[in-house]
């Protein structure tokens, strides 16, 4: 309620926020989490909490009147459709040169993501987080994060026999024939559940095309892991459909936090003010960066340092499809949970997930999301005239990613005698280079903050999410975001409380 006081206020309920809430509560601190998205705990009139990728409805997108599917064409035809404006689960946030996809709701990105839970190769870690001791990460915090998140790997024997991974086996065959290292990729999806889906003994989720707008079964999102444990302490409360708009110093070393309550059309119904001893920015790379840049520029937190807003990257995301020969079908039934990849990071700067195209029909397509070593970094800045935060990413800055992804797929195409698909992102367009799923940076560790996420000009303010990571993790990012949050909150609890 307005006027309340909390010991610790956490902005956002994604990976960083969930780790902070659990560990603070276990240390005896009362925590209130503020989340702009919905709770996603109540079924709709169809009995389901989440909608399917094949039938996106009002639940699919955050405050849009038309879907904006990442893969927005099929056979050259646009597939987006009109939907009612609603506080849906997936935000396709548009900046000048890039669309940034993010989860909205209690659980953040864990609600919408593929669950691919990948620890970077140790030899690459120095480039991921140069100021962090790799020994403590690989001995303590990565194992802790993987255990709490419930990470597991597909049973290789089942993988070899199940119809739903035929597409991945085709991906493996093509990778290996071109001499690329093929790797299984761990995931937080319940692999036993998926085997039961294939056997027909449980309600299908991964095998029913559920993923981008939520999974009704099988996926261990943060709601099932960190957030469930946090709530069970009895010290953590959550306010969904509440958006933080300001944090400013108050008397006694506290902070005044302004919060808007939203209804499901996105309208503000109430504005509340609370005070907090400590505030954790866990609104995601974009959410935290936008808040900090605006609060610095508009005078609420003027002493934030000049690194705030800098060092943002897209994890080098780029998508593409290949057209297979008719003797290489990829299967009408495809698990929506990817389980393998092609690792050409050392030689070509690209790590490609073999991704599903769960359309329900045979497409003869192989589809890939590549994570590449794109060196470009963008900056958030306050646009006073428009009263908004802009990001200066340029569309052309994806070119290094395309060049790196081509080190894999040009070679496979030449070996297999195949070509790129040109019908998935438009008409005659090969590269899905207009988007990212992996925003990182904007309040970089040891630059905008100290080496543990403290905003040192303001004791009691912390950043604890993907904004800390300088733009690239060499693999999918949420295990690294979680492990770094575990490291930082342990230090903060030991020394600041």
Q: Which is nearer to ligand FDA, 35 or 423 (CB)?
A: 35
Spell 354-370 as b/e; 16+ CB within 10 A means b.
bbbbbbeeebbbbbbbb
Closer by beta carbon to ligand FDA, 188 or else 198: 188
> Binding of ligand FDA at residue 109 (CB under 6 A)?
yes
Q: Which of 115, 348, 356, 471 touches ligand FDA by CB under 6 A?
A: 115
Residues 109 and 15 sit within 8 Å (Cβ to Cβ): yes
- Applying CB under 6 A, among 101, 193, 367, 458 the residue interacting with ligand FDA is 101
- Tell me: does residue 116 bind ligand FDA (CB under 6 A): yes
Distance between CA atoms of 233 and 239, rounded to whole angstroms?
Answer: 17
CB 72 within 8 A of CB 370: no
**Active-site option among 210, 438, 486, 490:** 438
**Known catalytic membership, residue 362:** no
Cα-based distances in Å from 476 to 364, 392, 439: 26, 23, 11
Helices (H), 110-206: 125-128, 134-136, 142-149, 156-161, 166-177, 191-199
11 contributes a contact to ligand FDA by CB under 6 A: yes
Q: Is residue 350 a contact partner of residue 407, using CB atoms and an 8 Å limit?
A: yes
Tell me the number of residues near ligand FDA by CB under 6 A: 39
36 binds ligand FDA (CB under 6 A): yes
Q: By CB under 6 A, tell whether 322 contacts ligand FDA.
A: no
| Residue 358: half-sphere exposure toward Cβ, Cα within 13 Å | 23
Q: Cβ of 201: how many Cβ atoms within 10 Å?
A: 9
Question: Shortest approach of ligand FDA to residue 7 CB, angstroms?
Answer: 18
> What number of other Cβ atoms are within 10 A of residue 233's Cβ?
17
Specify the residue, 207 or 282, whose C-beta has the smaller distance to ligand FDA: 282
Q: Smaller CB distance to ligand FDA: residue 85 or 364?
A: 85
- Asked if residue 341 binds ligand FDA (CB under 6 A), the reply is no
CA distance 360 to 331: 8
Residue 122 to residue 135: CA distance in whole angstroms: 9
Helices 399-416 and 166-177 cross at an angle (nearest 10°) of 90
Stretch that binds ligand FDA, among 106-114, 155-163, 372-380, 410-418 (CB under 6 A): 106-114
Question: Any catalytic annotation for residue 260?
Answer: no
Among 56, 88, 108, 358, binds ligand FDA (CB under 6 A): 108
CA angle 254, 258, 263 (to 5 degrees): 150
Which of 113, 317, 86, 118 is CA-nearest to residue 211?
113
**Is residue 86 at the binding interface for ligand FDA, with CB under 6 A as the rule?**
no
Is residue 226 classed as helix, strand or coil in its secondary structure?
helix
Candidate ranges 110-118, 158-166, 292-300, 452-460; the one touching ligand FDA (CB under 6 A): 110-118
The correct pick among 310, 322, 406, 438 for binding ligand FDA (CB under 6 A) is 438
205 near ligand FDA, judged by CB under 6 A: no
Do residues 366 and 278 lie in contact, with contact meaning Cβ atoms separated by under 8 Å? no
- Residue 477 interacts with ligand FDA (CB under 6 A): yes or no: yes
Any contact of residue 37 with ligand FDA (CB under 6 A)? yes
Among residues 338, 310, 332, which one has the least CA distance to residue 114?
338
Examine residue 212 and tell whether it contacts ligand FDA (CB under 6 A). Answer: yes
Q: Which helix (H) or strand (E) holds 236?
A: strand 236-239
Q: Minimum Å distance from CB 90 to ligand FDA? A: 7
Q: Is 311 in the site for ligand FDA (CB under 6 A)?
A: no
Told to check if 389 binds ligand FDA by CB under 6 A, we report no
88 versus 284: smaller Cβ distance to ligand FDA = 284
Of 6, 8, 9, 12, the residue at the interface with ligand FDA (CB under 6 A) is 12
Return the residue of 21, 112, 333, 340 that touches ligand FDA, per CB under 6 A: 112
Residues 6+ apart with CB under 8 A from 200: none
Return the range that interacts with ligand FDA (CB under 6 A); candidates 33-41, 79-87, 378-386, 399-407.
33-41
Q: How remote is the C-alpha of 268 from its chain's centroid? A: 26
423 binds ligand FDA (CB under 6 A): no
> Helix, strand or coil for residue 75?
coil
Of 148, 210, 353, 486, which is the active-site residue?
Answer: 353
Write out the catalytic residue numbers.
353, 438
Residues contributing to the site for ligand FDA (CB under 6 A): 11-16, 34-37, 101-105, 108-109, 112-116, 212, 243-244, 282-285, 287, 291, 437-438, 465-466, 476-478, 481
């Amino acid at each position: 309620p307005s006027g309340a006081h909390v010991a610790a206020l956490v902005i956002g309920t994604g990976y960083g926020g969930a780790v902070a809430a659990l560990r603070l509560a276990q240390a005896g601190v009362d925590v209130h989490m503020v989340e702009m998205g919905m709770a996603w705990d109540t079924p709709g009139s169809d009995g389901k909490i989440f909608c399917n990728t094949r039938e996106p409805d009002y639940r699919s997108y955050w405050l849009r009147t038309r879907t904006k599917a990442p893969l927005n064409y099929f056979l050259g035809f646009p597939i987006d459709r009109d939907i009612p404006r609603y506080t849906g689960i997936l935000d396709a946030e548009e900046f000048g040169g890039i669309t940034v996809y993010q989860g909205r709701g209690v659980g953040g990105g864990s609600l919408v993501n593929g669950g691919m839970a990948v620890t970077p190769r140790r030899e690459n870690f120095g480039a991921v987080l140069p100021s962090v001791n790799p020994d403590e990460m690989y001995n303590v915090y990565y194992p802790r994060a993987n255990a709490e998140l419930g990470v597991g790997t597909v049973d290789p024997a089942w993988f070899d026999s199940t119809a739903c991974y035929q597409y991945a086996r085709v991906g493996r065959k093509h990778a290996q024939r071109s001499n690329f290292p093929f790797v299984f990729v761990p995931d937080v999806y319940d692999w036993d559940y998926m085997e039961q889906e294939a056997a027909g003994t449980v309600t299908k989720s991964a095998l029913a095309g559920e993923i981008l707008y939520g999974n009704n079964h099988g996926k261990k999102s943060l709601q099932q892991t960190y957030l469930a444990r946090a709530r069970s302490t009895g010290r953590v409360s959550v306010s969904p459909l509440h958006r933080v708009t300001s944090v400013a110093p108050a008397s006694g070393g506290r902070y005044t936090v302004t919060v808007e309550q939203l209804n499901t059309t996105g309208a503000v119904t109430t504005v509340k003010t609370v005070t907090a001893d400590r505030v954790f920015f866990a609104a995601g790379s974009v959410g935290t960066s936008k808040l900090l840049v605006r609060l610095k520029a508009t005078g609420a937190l003027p002493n934030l340092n000049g690194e705030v807003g800098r060092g943002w990257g897209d994890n080098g995301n780029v998508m593409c499809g290949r057209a297979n020969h008719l003797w290489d079908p990829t299967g009408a039934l495809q698990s929506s949970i990817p389980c393998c990849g092609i690792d050409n990071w050392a030689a070509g700067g690209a790590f490609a997930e073999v991704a599903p195209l769960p359309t329900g029909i045979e497409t003869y397509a192989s589809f890939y999301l590549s994570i590449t070593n794109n060196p470009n970094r963008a900056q958030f800045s306050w646009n006073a005239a428009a009263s908004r935060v802009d990001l200066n990413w340029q569309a052309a800055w994806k070119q290094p990613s395309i060049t790196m992804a081509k080190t894999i797929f040009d070679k496979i195409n030449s070996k297999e005698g195949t070509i790129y698909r040109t019908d998935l992102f438009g008409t005659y367009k090969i590269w899905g280079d207009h988007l990212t799923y992996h925003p990182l940076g904007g309040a970089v560790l040891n630059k905008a903050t100290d080496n543990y996420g403290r905003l040192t000009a303001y004791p009691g303010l912390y950043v604890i999410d993907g904004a800390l990571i300088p733009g690239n993790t060499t693999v999918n990012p949420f295990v690294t975001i979680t492990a770094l949050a575990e490291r930082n909150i342990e230090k903060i609890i030991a020394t600041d409380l």
